[in-house]
Amino acid sequence: MIRIPVSASRDYRVLIERGLLDHAGEEIRAVTKAEAAALVAGKNVFPLYGERVRRSLEAAGLQVIPYVIEAGEGAKSLENYGSLLRFLSENRLSRSDVLVALGGGVTGDLTGFAAATYQRGIDFVQIPTTLLAMVDSSVGGKTAVNLETGKNQVGAFYQPAVVLCDPDVLKTLPEEEYRCGSAEVLKYGVLGNAAFFEELCRRPIREQEEHVIETCVCMKRDIVHEDEYDRGQRQLLNLGHSFGHAVEACSGFSILHGQAVAIGMALIARAAAAKGYCDQETVERLTAALRDYGLPTETDFSLKELAAAMALDKKRTGSTMHLVVPEAIGRCRILAVPVSEIPDWLRAGGAV
């Protein structure tokens, strides 16, 4: 088993092992004294793995109370957040119990935010079932729900008690979702690990899943340790996200997060080259890698639509927005850009 320690406001470990779902109860028992566990899972995930995790939790002596949510970004609403809180209260979960998020980033975000706020804080565990969640969203403590005006507008920094990654569950992940996770994996190579990027170009992620998950988690762990509350270097993890969130919003979230991040990375790389921050070779290597993994690099949304969506982005600070700009594969910088100049950046990235 791979055990990665994470040092933050709460220290915990990320565990990576095939077949780990069958031992989830033991690992959760090792970090919490809970008597009851609310098992929160998406409606597509619960039929696949819900009963398996329930059996493991019950074998470890936990009373299990399942709660199934809708699939997709729409589940991260204030309404669903309120429904989950009512469910916890009606089932008399106490602060000494635990929430278990079984699913992708949406399930983890919603469950984590409920855990952060229910009775002023209750333990929660991440059991990610998507590649994207394993390499990125399950680690670092960001939890949130969406408002009609934008994504992740209401949330909290709240670290899990443990993260359990079982790569075997990726065998049932739809191809489109796997590609979305690949976008986040490539992001790590671009923002800070050129050698890893080259590995990903030579050998498919599917052939090295444990290594990929471990590498990404360790990179994120180190960044979060230095900047848990996203005031400095942690913003590097937003590579592709400022433009990508705008693409998501314009599509009404019909474009998946990983697809939008891929488009966002391609847009910012082209803009960076046009403005002299990187060379054309960097753009070509990045876009080629994205396409090799079946990811989009263009958007049909207009410059006007994208700029309007970015104006609502939570990463905006007053009249400034921080963009993560690639300088080369393996090196990026955080650039403070006046909001008034965002349309010019979008235009330089290829938006019209």
* Digit-coded pLDDT (tens) for 308-320: 999 877 666 678 8
Proportion of the chain above pLDDT 70, given as a percent: 99
272 and 303 in contact (C-beta within 8 Å)?
no
Residue 70: give the domain boundaries. 2-172
Domain end (from 155, 172, 189)? 172
Residue 139 has pLDDT above 80, yes or no: yes
Give the pLDDT confidence score for residue 319 in this predicted structure. 83
Q: Please count the helices (runs of H) and the strands (runs of E) in the chain.
A: 13, 12
Residues whose CB falls within 8 Å of the CB of residue 119, separated by 6 or more in sequence, listed in order: 94, 95
Residue 198 sits in the same domain as residue 321 = yes
- Check whether residue 344 and residue 213 sit in a common domain: yes
Shared-domain flag, residues 189 and 168: no
Query: Distance between CA 331 and CA 35 in Å, rounded?
Result: 46
Mean pLDDT of 106-133: 97
Q: Lowest mean pLDDT of 122-126, 185-189, 294-298, 337-341, name the range.
A: 337-341
Same domain, 159 and 182: no
Q: Is the pLDDT of residue 220 over 70?
A: yes
Q: Are residues 96 and 184 in the same domain?
A: no
pLDDT, tens digit (0-9, with 9 covering 90-100), for 67-91: 999 988 999 999 999 999 999 999 9
- Dist. CA 271–CA 178, nearest whole Å: 27
Please state the rounded mean pLDDT for residues 219-232: 93
Instruction: Measure the CA–CA gap between 31 and 161, rounded to whole angstroms.
Output: 7
User: Is the domain of 132 the same as that of 190?
Assistant: no
Whether the Cβ atoms of residue 153 and residue 146 lie closer than 8 Å to each other:
yes
- Based on the domain organization, do 39 and 163 belong to the same domain? yes
Count of residues in the chain = 352
Q: Of 144, 172, 200, which residue constitutes the final position of a domain?
A: 172
Identify the CATH number of the domain in which residue 246 sits: 1.20.1090.10
Q: Tally the domains of the chain.
A: 2
Q: What is the mean pLDDT of residues 126-155?
A: 94
Average of pLDDT values for 136-148? 94
Q: Do residues 126 and 193 share a domain? A: no
CA–CA distance, 257 with 275 (Å, rounded to integer):
26
Contact of 299 with 248, CB cutoff 8 Å: no
pLDDT for 312? 78
Using CA atoms, how far apart are residues 28 and 3, in angstroms rounded to an integer?
14
The reported pLDDT for the residue numbered 113 is 98
In this predicted model, what pLDDT tens digit does every residue of 22-32 receive, in sequence order?
A: 999 999 999 99
Give the confidence band of 219 by pLDDT, cuts at 50, 70, 90: very high
In the prediction, which pLDDT does 231 show? Answer: 87
Say which CATH number the domain at 77 has.
Answer: 3.40.50.1970
- What number is the average pLDDT over the span 259-280? 97
Q: Would the pLDDT of 57 be above 70?
A: yes
Residues 332 and 316 placed together within one structural domain of the fold? yes
99-108 tens-digit pLDDT: 999 999 999 9
Q: Are residues 62 and 142 in the same domain?
A: yes
In percent, how much of the chain has pLDDT > 90? 92
- Boundary residue ending a domain (124, 143, 172): 172
Q: Are residues 135 and 216 in the same domain?
A: no
- For residue 42, the one-letter residue type is G
Return the SS3 of 327: strand
Tell me, yes or no, whether 202 and 327 share the same domain.
yes
At 278 the pLDDT is: 97
Q: What pLDDT is stored for residue 22 in this prediction?
A: 97
Could you read off the pLDDT of 151-208 as tens digits, one per residue? 899 999 999 999 999 999 999 999 999 999 999 999 999 999 999 999 999 999 999 9
Q: Can you give the pLDDT at residue 313?
A: 73
